[in-house]
Structure formats: structure tokens, C-alpha cells
Chain A
Amino acid sequence: MLAKLGVRNAKRSIKDYIIYLITVTLAFSFIFAFNLISNSEDVLNLSSVMDNFKYVMYFVNAFIILVVCFLINYTTKFMFSKRSHEFGTYMVLGIKKKQISRMFTLENLFLGVFAFLVSIPVGYLLSCLFSLIIMNIFDLPYQVLMDFNSNALLLSILYFGIIYLIALFLSRRRIKKMKVYDLLYLERQNEKNIIKHKHIRNIGFIISLALGIYAIYLFDGEFHIGTEPNMGTIFLCIGMLAVSIYGVTFTLADFILNLVLKSKKLKYSSDNLFVARTFCSKVKTMSFTLGTLTLLITLTLVSLNMSSLFKGMFDYQIELAAPYDININDDKTKFPEYISLVDEDYTILETFEYDAYEDSANNILNLIGDTWRTSDLVIPLSSYNQLLKMKGMDPVSLDEGEYLLHATREYKDTLDVDEIENITLSNGVDLHLKEFRTEGYTSSWAYGYGYIIVVPDRATEELTVSESHLIIDTKEDTTEELANELIAFASPDFCEENEYGYQVCYSLSNIVVRGQEEANNNGFMTITSFVFYYVAFIFTAVVGTILAIQSLSDSTKYKYRYTVLRKLGVRDKQLFKTVRKQLLLFFLFPLVYPVIVSICTITSLNDLFKLILANDTVYLVYFFSNLILFLMIYAIYFMATYFGFKKNIME
């Protein structure tokens, strides 16, 4: 009979907790998919930077386990409180607490195992999709399906075990502490309202808000060019923000309610009063949970922003280092051989050769005070314009007696323009600075310099050639393999065969192939952002699930509220509008603070990052695209909740 009861209850629970089940299944699917990828030899052998991937994943998964555990524990607790009356009845009928506890544990375990079993095929498909994307980045033909790694499966089982062991242990301990009386009357209890006095609550709100503002201000002060951020201060800021988030969540609802009640206009216009009252009673009874959810959303948005900043930085690094498909700096006589080597596998669209000259007057070098370079680097305007053209930039013009300095963004703040207003080259030509530009600078023009001096063609007369460059534009995307071939040709000592028969070469600074830069930077970056998005997705799903479960259970518990409204003559359309408003408020409430915090922190971080990003404002693009991404997933949970809610109150 108990088994029958258990199965029937689990069946009923599936209906009530479908959103929760989907989330848990997806969470396990992602855990399994990432276990498969991080254990796959194929993926790990892709590049040297992948070695750490496996260990990073252990760390990330530990974090994920914690959050999934939070979700399962929360939902179990929630289910338990919903059914406390039922358990009380069992006990009154003489069923022992041990038996009830066993039944509840079995039910939850049954749901968990169900989710886990479904997650294996789903996770496997996900891993195939992910590795397809990864293989694509590395330009490798994707022939084999992911191997079904038993280590990954064991690891997933281990994670599942840990999660359920903790969740069920907590649940059993909770049941053990319960008395029949508590069970029969648990439904009447809410989360404790921690701060009782209205006055103290309002003061608490202001203090919490002030603390948050101060934390953001302090955080902002840590990020300036030229100063090292103090980790102690940053952790202090994070701590203060966390306290502030909880503080504001505890007090904000009442603060809003006070405002609505004070203003007659607000109070009695449309359904404000109903919505505000319902919302406040909800927030008050679960403010601790909402605080945690707010914290999770903050973490999600901030980590997405960090991921974007790093991605932007790496993209910019690639653009900086390898704007052309191939850039070779070598002996001019070897150029035809390079070209024919590339020509074997690639369609060459355009080649361009140019010389850069050395200028021993060192007008710029002397100001920078660098010791390992011996002279300034000068290139003629015609070559410069051709280089700009191949990069897709507009050409520039210089009059006789004018020069242009193109440098990395770091020099914008450190070089004193007045001192280089007029310079004299070592061949005696006097030049006046026309423009000091930083936009679109690439280190491939002058490896290791960070700047070039562009002069009219005639001004390079009598200067010695410092280096010769060959630039090749190919139709196909270049690969790491091509780079290895070119390096092997230039310096055979730099290459060796590894145990799998692949040729592995150390990178050579005078041969820059875009495909290789991408493989080194982008591959690593893509996987890192995968991980960030994985964490963000799980967090978002957990937050969405908890809000959905709470709202849907309210829709059945407080169905009468809506029945009353309908009896009072509120039309269905208006009723749905009220429900939408109320749910929207509930879903937006834990979102407001994180949005503010994340835009403030990314702005602060941008003060440091802007030097290595494409431009000063690109961070806003990152911020908004991340927010939209988050909102898209969040919206799915919102819609599911809304439709479920509607269905429940209309039944």
C-alpha cells in the first residue's frame, strides 16, 4: 500500500512540478554533456590550452552541484510543506515517521532517477552538438560521434549521488524533527518575517541601499589605469553587496507598499491595491529565498559580463596580432617559396610585399625609454595605405613634411604629443606630426614595437631596410596546420612530431597566421565562454524554477482570491492582466538590483579593459546582449508560469 501511495504521489507530483523536473533534467544533461567533453581524448588533444579544461570543469561542476542541490533541497522542502497535512494524517493513522520518511525519500529519489535517466541521452546529444561547434572552431572534419565515455558517466552518477545524498539527508533530518502537531498545522506557517517593526524596516531599506551604493562606489575606485586593484577591497565590496542585496530584498516590498498606500491616486487606480498587497505578502513570506535568487541573478549577469569582456579582449588580440591571413617577416628572397607553399592548398587572392626602415634618430623610442629595441621603425605612406586597404580601412594622405604616428592604445595616455610635434629623421628630413592615431593598430606591422612612424615615400630615402614583410590574403580560412608548414619551412628546428603523429611547432614571431592565432585564442575562449554560459544557464534555470513553483502553488492555494475578483465583476481579460502584472512584478523584483549592480561593475571594469578592447563603449553592447540572453531564458520560465497560473485559476 505504501508503495502504491508513493507511486501515485510521485505521479501527482510530476504534474505539479513539471517545470522543476525539466530543469533538473536539463541540469543533469548539461553536467553529463560537459563531463563527456572534458573527458574526451579527441577534444583534449585539440590544442595545448585544453589541458586545464578538465580541471576547470571539476571546479565549475562543484559550483553547479551546490546550486542544483540548493534547488532540489528547496523544492523538496517546499513539497514537504505542501504535503505536511497529508503526512500528519499518516501519522495520526499510526504510520511510523520512519515509514513516512522512507516513502517521501523514495518518491523524491524516483523523480530524481527519472530525471537522471532522461538526462543521459539528452546530455549525450548536447555533447555531440558542443563538440561539433568545438571541432568547427578548430577546422577539423567531424567524422566520429562523441565516444560514450564511461568515466564521464561514472562522474555524473557520482554528482547525482552527492546531490541527492545531501538533499535527502537534509529532508530526512527535517522530517525527523517534525512532530505530528507541527505537520498538521505547518501549512499555517510562513517563512519568518525577520524584521517586525515598520520603522526599523524602512531605516533598514535606506541603510541597505546606502551600503550597496557605497560598495559600488568603492569597487569603481579600484579600477583605474596604472593602479593595481586591491583584492581585499574587492572582496569587501562583494561582501557588502551581498549584505545589501539581502537587506534590500527584506525591506523593499514594504517600502513600496507604504508608497502605494500613502498615495490615494496610486492606491485606487485600477488593480494597484490588489497587486501591491498580493505581491508584498508574497515577498514578505519568502524574502530570504528571494534574496538568494537575487544574489544568483547578480552572479549570473556579472559572470556573463566577465566572459564577454574576456572574449572581446581575445577577439581584439587576434585582430591586433593577425589582421591578415598570413604575414611573414623574413628574407625577401625566400618570399616566392613561401607563396608557392601556400599556393599548394589555398587560393591566393592577393599578395603584398613591403619594406620597413629603421631610423636611428629614435625620436619615439627615446621618449618611451625601451631598451631592447635599437631604433624606430618607419614605413612609407604608399605601403601603409596598402596595409590599411587590406585591413578594410580608409587610406590617409600626408603632405611633404608631415608624418603620422600609429600606435597601440596604451601609448595614447603615456606619450606626450608636444614632444613629438616636430621630429628629424636620421637622414635629416624634418617632419611635423599630422596625426597620432591608435585605432586599428596591429602588432603584425612591426612585431614588438607597438608603434610605427608613417612618412611620405620620399622621406625614407637613405634609410636602411630593417625588415621585409610578405602579406598574403587567401580565399579559404587559414589553419594551425598551415602555420606549422610555414614554420617548418622557415626554421625546421621549431617543429617535432608528437605521439599521435601530428606535427607540432612552437610559434615563430615572424610568421603570423590568423588560423593559428584563432586556434590558440578563440578555441580556448569559446570553451571558456561555453562554461560561463553553462553556469549562467543553470543559475537562470534554478531561479526561474523556484519562482515558477512558488507562483504555481499560489495559483492553487489562493484560487479563491481570483474567484472573488470574478464574482465582483472583473472580466476574464482584466483578470489575466492582473495576473500578468502580478507575476511580472514577482519575476522582475529579483532582477532590478542585479541589473544595476552588473552595469555598474562592468562600467568599472571597462576602465581597465577598454585599452585591450576594440573601443571604449563596446562593453555596453556586451552588457545588453548578455541581458537579452538572460531575459530570453527567464522569459520562457515566466511564460510557462503565466500559462500554468491561468490554467489553474480557470479550472
Chain B
Amino acid sequence: MENMKKILEVKNLKKYYGSHGNITKAVDGISFDVLKGEFVAIMGASGSGKTTLLNTISTIDTVTSGNIYLNGVDITTLKEEELADFRRENLGFIFQDFNLLDTLTIEENISLALIINHEDVLKVEQKVDDIAKKLGIGDILNKFPYEVSGGQKQRCACARALINEPKLILADEPTGALDSKSSRMLLEAMDEMNERLNATILMVTHDSFSASFCKRVIFIKDGKIFNEILKGEKSRKEFFNEILDVLTMLGGDDSLAC
């Protein structure tokens, strides 16, 4: 049962901001697991603590208390200098605003992480080509980020996140800056990453449509887990409707409220 291996274990995680009498409990005792090969969405309204949760898992932010085990290693105990190596070897990131480096070409952006790991140059080229083709950006590799569309940029970010074959890919509102067509293309690409490459993905979103591509959705409200639903054998459409139902109970979804 290789597929049932726990990749991520979050245990009673707390993240508080502020001081003295004025404390904001952004994450307030959250626990959950992510298995290898899962595609999990974390949903919640603005300010529900979902991005903070993702930031703590991605080691960008520190925790107030609790533990996060990634592949058995408690990342809350790692030191600053160890974290860089850890991130490089275990995590892939996809951000809302792409975070591509505008002085590098798409190809260089994708390969940056590998080159820093001092991988064989020929191997790097091969890997970049492979992944770019899979994501449909093989023909823009020599362009600079400002020369390509938002969707292409985000697929480039996906390629960059995938190339290291990380244990876990973390995505923060990856469709936030994209139009609906590009969003759909990206989500399908992510779905494929998950299905065909067996990548484990944890995605934060407030968009029900995006979440409906996942296998499991965790709902967060006021820093706590409110509900959790599984796709199972349901169609994407059915799952989408189910997500909407939970959101109604939760008290509104940003995207629908607008």
C-alpha cells in the first residue's frame, strides 16, 4: 500500500499573531494528514487562516505551537539554514502571482532549482524539456516571463515546482490571477500532474471551481477545521455541487458572494 503512506502530518497546529490582550488566532489547533498521491484543497473565506496554514507548512512562516511532519521530519524544529536545503529537496511552490524571476528566461526559471542542486547540465535540459512538453509550454522556453501570458507563466511555475520531483507541492491560489480559460487549463494540468506523475498537491483556494478538481476538500473557518469532504467516485460536477452546499453552511463563498 505504497499509496497510503502519509506524506504530511499536521498536529494541533496553532499560529497566533499580536501581543498582550489583542491576539489573533489565525490557525487555532488544526490537525490533518495528507497521503502520498493526494490532491487536497483547503477552502475558506478571506481571513479564515488558510494562507497562514499553508505558509507554516511551507516553512515560510513559523508556528506558535504544534507539529508539522513532512515525510517523518518535524519541520517546526529545523533551523533556518537547514530549511533552505529542506525546501529545495522536498517542496515545490506555486504562487498566485507566479513569482518568476524576470531576468531569467522561462527555461532558466524552471531549471534554477536544479542548477542550484548542481545537477548534471545535460540531465537538466532533458528534464526541463520533458516537463515543459507535458505542461504545453515547450515552445516558449526561450522567452522572458514578460513576453508570455499569465496562464503560460503559471504553467512555467508549475514546471518549476515539479522539476525537483518534490514530495509535496504547495499551491497558494494558483488560479487567482488567471482568466477562466487559463484557470481551467492550469487545473487540468495540475490534475494530470497528480494522476500521471503521482504528485502530491496541497492547494489553498477560495474558488469552488478550482477545489472541485481535487480529491479531498478541507474547509476552514476562524482558524479551525469546519468540515472535510471526499470526492470518491463522484463526478466533478457532483463534487462541485457538494462543495457549494458546504460553503452555504459555512456562511458564504467569496466567489459566489461577489
Chain A residues near B (Cβ < 8 Å): 1-2, 5, 8-9, 12, 85-86, 88-89, 91-99, 179-181, 184
Contact = CB atoms under 8 A, between A and B. Distances in A.
A181 B84 contact: no
A97 B60 contact: no
Nearest to B108: A1
Interface string B148-173: 00000000000010000000000000
Interface string B102-144: 0110001000110111000000000000000000000000000
A99 B101 CA distance: 16
Contact of B88 (A8, A86, A94, A97): A94
Contacts of A94: 84-89, 113, 116-117
A524 B117 CA distance: 63
A85 B99 contact: yes
Instruction: Give the secondary structure class of B's interface.
Output: helix
A181 B55 contact: yes
Interface in B59-89: 59-62, 80-81, 84-89
B246 to A, nearest CB: 30
B74 to A, nearest CB: 18
Given A8-B103, A98-B81, 5 more contacts: A89-B101, A95-B84, A95-B88, A99-B116, A180-B60
Q: What is the size category of the interface that chain B forms with chain A?
A: 20 to 34
Contacts of A89: 99, 101
Contact of A93 (B55, B62, B88): B88
Given A5-B101, A89-B101, A180 B116 contact: no
A1 B111 CA distance: 10
A86 B61 contact: no
A184 B59 CA distance: 13
Interface of B: 55, 58-62, 80-81, 84-89, 93, 99, 101, 103-104, 108, 112-113, 115-117, 160
A61 to B, nearest CB: 37
A181 B104 CA distance: 23
A174 to B, nearest CB: 15
A93 B59 contact: no
A92 B93 contact: yes
A93 B87 contact: yes
A5 B87 CA distance: 21
B103 A181 contact: no
A498 to B, nearest CB: 62
A153 B81 CA distance: 41
A9 B112 CA distance: 15
B244 to A, nearest CB: 32
Contact of B87 (A1, A92, A99, A181): A92
A179 B79 CA distance: 12
A85 B96 CA distance: 13
A582 B85 CA distance: 47
**Which one of A1, A9, A12, A86 has the greatest number of beta carbons of chain B within 10 Å?**
A1
Contacts of B160: 93
Given A1-B108, A181-B61, A184-B60, A96 B103 contact: no
6 contacts: A91-B87, A92-B93, A94-B85, A95-B84, A180-B61, A181-B62
A5 B104 contact: yes
